[in-house]
Chains A and B, each alone.
Chain A
Amino acid sequence: MSDNNKAGPEIRVGLLVTCLVDLFRPGIGFAAVKLLEDAGCVVSVPSQTCCGQPAFNSGDRANARAIAVQVMDAFANVDYVVAPSGSCGGMLARHYPELFEDDPALSARSRAFAAKTHELVSFLVDVLGVQSVQAAFPYAVAYHDSCSGLRELNVRDQPRTLLASVAGLQLREMKDSDVCCGFGGAFAVKYSDISGAIVSSKTACVEASGAHTLLAGDLGCLMNMAGKLARDGSKIEVRHVAEVLAGMTDAPPIAAAAPEKA
């Protein structure tokens, strides 16, 4: 993608890798780095733990604020903050300003910070103008629109645009692709049987699509859907959209074992 290596001042991107990617599937983080570097960005990974969403959604504003300040400090010196997640991206871009609404010292800062935060795929397309990627994935895929990305950050067409440029890939739109998968963070554990019912409806749609691989832009949702598909003995593979766009699909899919070494 050398044509995206525009001359000019360098674009400094801080990768908010997200706690789930950091801990469970670092490969997504490296896929994000590759996509950003191919598009001409200089990527750094400031020290980080989590965006604070678990505290925020549990009603613990004090811890949510403390973590938000920690994140804003860590990413103070980059032009953009980019996350391979609509959920964490939405936390920074939509909810940090809410957290500091009544705080004269931090309100403006949180709004400025929100304005420089983006979800990975929409950043590539909307901000950097990337229209295609160099990757091949000769399979039929279904794409699930994760809720926060879709409704908080308008991520819908951007992943489809880039997926259309992947050699051999065929997008099979599934029914209810924009309906929640039932993850919802702590909800999946606290109300596990309701969450289980919701993800069953989702995986039924995935199965009906006839896709070989299920993609989405948020690892939380992916772990939920992959876990359910695995539990039901499904053959469908599950990956983060960035892995496919970056052409980094050598690692076993989510919830799958590494193939036996000969």
Chain B
Amino acid sequence: MTVYPSSPQFKKNARAALADGQLQKALGNVRTNFIAKRAAVADRLPEFEALRDQARDLRDHVLAHLDVYLEAYERKVLESGGHVHWVRTAEEASRIIVDLAKSRGARSVAKGKSMVSEEIGLNAALERAGIKAVETDLGEYIIQLRGEAPSHIIAPAVHLNQEDVEAEFRRVHTWLPKDRDLSEPESLLAEARAELRAKFLAADIGVTGANFLVAETGTSIIVTNEGNGDLSQILPRVHVVVASIEKIVPTLEDAASLLRVLARSATGQEMSVYTTLSTGPRRAEDVDGPQEYHVVLVDNGRSNMLGSEFEEMLRCIRCGACMNHCPVYHAVGGHAYGWVYPGPMGAVLTPSLIGVDKAGHLPNASTFCGRCESVCPVRIPLPKLMRHWREREFERHLSPAVSRAFLGLWAFFARRPALYRFATGLTMRALAWAARGKGRFTSLPLASGWTNQRDLPAPQGQTFQAQWKAHQAARRKRP
């Protein structure tokens, strides 16, 4: 199992990822497919930009009245015969679910894809209690077989190629004929389906996440493309929804308007294939459904973000568009970030949830190219929020001593223009002289961070400001 969090070793993780040919090949899909699909579907919908504005405003409204909507939601869940468990921390959250499972004598739990269950370490907690967690999402199932964590919030196995999956299935499903054909994605899917079906039926408890919790009706909503969500919540006796508190929306109509931007931003689909709503346990007139319905509402650091400069991050609807468009994510993939949430959203959220002392690299490892913000359906200013983390680090003296020293020295000169002109004038002339005949440096003391990847273009000679002064003097002399 991946050791969490490995965010403090981000640099080491990144280096390994860059050297991993198999990973680099798999990341090729992210670089092209997601981006083209989103662009096409956004272009087809003229009101897409207006929908993003609406989505942002709606999420802001919810965050401003979160307490009101959460209480309304709880009332509705109770009215429909369900239970609500409020939890502060990750440990509490997984303990509640483990206790529920134990007290119902459960031996296995069927799980739909849920990032918050990763956040609370649910699988490991169940395992420790001797209860088997079965991931029912194809991607999650594959990485569970491999003992890995998700590398993407909507495509957990995106770091793998088809041949990696085939090899894994052949290694694990030893009871199936050795000469079976697994050369097509469909055959892999069919094999996983067949294996999973039996496990759905055997599971005593189904755990799902939620894309949205609807205050008006007490409904939880999940979207999937495989339909596994439905099965993991309908077949078992007990359905547990685990969701973080900011997932709330006021009405079903609001959920519908967010769904319109969610699937488009995520996979470039107009709608996900399955949108599943569940409200309370099975009623007398229902043909199926669980006998018990529980909601575990996880705070785990969110309420601290409310009212802080990071509040906007809570607008996130977990579409993954920011990482799909991120050059850093494209280069190193999701595991390098070292915790549950990768990419730009992870670079903001992870320090909030596990501490900037552990996750400090994440908001720094960004070029601030702004492509994430330009596609985020709820218009989260991700670069600005990453910069706020850099400010916190700077204030707390967490940034590396060497870069602080450099910055301090640079600022000293930058705030003294005359001295700056004198010092830079000398330095640039010296550098130009040193590079004469070459126009560039292949290595330079103190600049190895630059020159280990690329040459450093040499200065032309005198600075602009020195030349401009001479130029102006000459102009004045002319009649």
Write the residues of chain A forming the contact surface with B, with a CB cutoff of 8 angstroms: 17, 19, 21-27, 29-30, 45, 47-50, 52, 54-61, 63, 66-67, 70, 98, 147-148, 151-152, 178-180, 182-199, 201, 223-224, 226-228, 230-231, 251-252, 254-258
**Which one of B331, B374, B403, B462 has the highest number of Cβ atoms from chain A below 10 Å of its Cβ?**
B331
**Which one of A180, A224, A228 has the highest number of Cβ atoms from chain B below 10 Å of its Cβ?**
A180
Whether B465 is near chain A, meaning CB under 8 Å from some CB there, is yes
Residues of B within 8 A of A61 (CB): 391, 394
Which residue of A is nearest B365, CB measured? A191
Residues of A within 8 A of B274 (CB): none
Which residue of B is nearest A258, CB measured? B439
Whether B390 is near chain A, meaning CB under 8 Å from some CB there, is yes
The listed residue (B327, B399, B411) touching A63 by CB distance below 8 A is B411
CB pair A147 B454 closer than 8 Å: no
The listed residue (B367, B384, B421, B424) touching A184 by CB distance below 8 A is B367
The listed residue (A60, A189, A231) touching B449 by CB distance below 8 A is A189
Residues of B within 8 A of A52 (CB): 414
Q: What are 8 A-B pairs with beta-carbon distances under 8 A?
A: A47-B421, A50-B414, A147-B370, A179-B369, A194-B328, A196-B452, A197-B331, A227-B454
Whether B290 is near chain A, meaning CB under 8 Å from some CB there, is no
CB pair A223 B457 closer than 8 Å: yes
Whether B459 is near chain A, meaning CB under 8 Å from some CB there, is yes
Question: Given contacts A148-B370, A194-B365, A251-B460, is CB(A57)–CB(B387) below 8 Å?
Answer: yes
Whether B49 is near chain A, meaning CB under 8 Å from some CB there, is no
Query: Closest approach, in angstroms, between the C-beta of B423 and any C-beta of chain A?
Result: 10
Interface contacts beyond A21-B464, A57-B387, A179-B371: sample of 14 additional A-B pairs, CB < 8 Å, sorted by A: A24-B458, A45-B464, A54-B407, A58-B394, A58-B399, A152-B370, A180-B367, A190-B449, A191-B328, A192-B450, A195-B453, A201-B327, A231-B454, A257-B438
CB pair B413 A23 closer than 8 Å: no
CB pair A27 B407 closer than 8 Å: no
Residues of A within 8 A of B403 (CB): 58, 186, 190
Residues of B within 8 A of A256 (CB): 439-440
Interface residue tally of chain B, by bracket? 35 or more
* Complex-state Cα separation, A182 to B368, whole angstroms: 10
The listed residue (B366, B390, B428, B454) touching A23 by CB distance below 8 A is B428
Query: Closest approach, in angstroms, between the C-beta of B382 and any C-beta of chain A?
Result: 12
CB pair A70 B417 closer than 8 Å: yes
Residues of A within 8 A of B410 (CB): 54-55
Query: Closest approach, in angstroms, between the C-beta of A235 and any C-beta of chain B?
Result: 14
CB pair B437 A257 closer than 8 Å: yes
Residues of A within 8 A of B393 (CB): 59
CB pair A59 B395 closer than 8 Å: yes
Per the 8 Å Cβ criterion, residues 345-399 of B in contact with A are: 364-371, 373-374, 384, 387, 389-395, 399
CB pair B368 A57 closer than 8 Å: yes
Which residue of A is nearest B420, CB measured? A49
The listed residue (A54, A180, A199, A254) touching B371 by CB distance below 8 A is A180
Question: Given contacts A61-B391, A152-B370, A223-B457, is CB(A24)–CB(B415) below 8 Å?
Answer: no
* Complex-state Cα separation, A133 to B455, whole angstroms: 33
Residues of A within 8 A of B471 (CB): 30
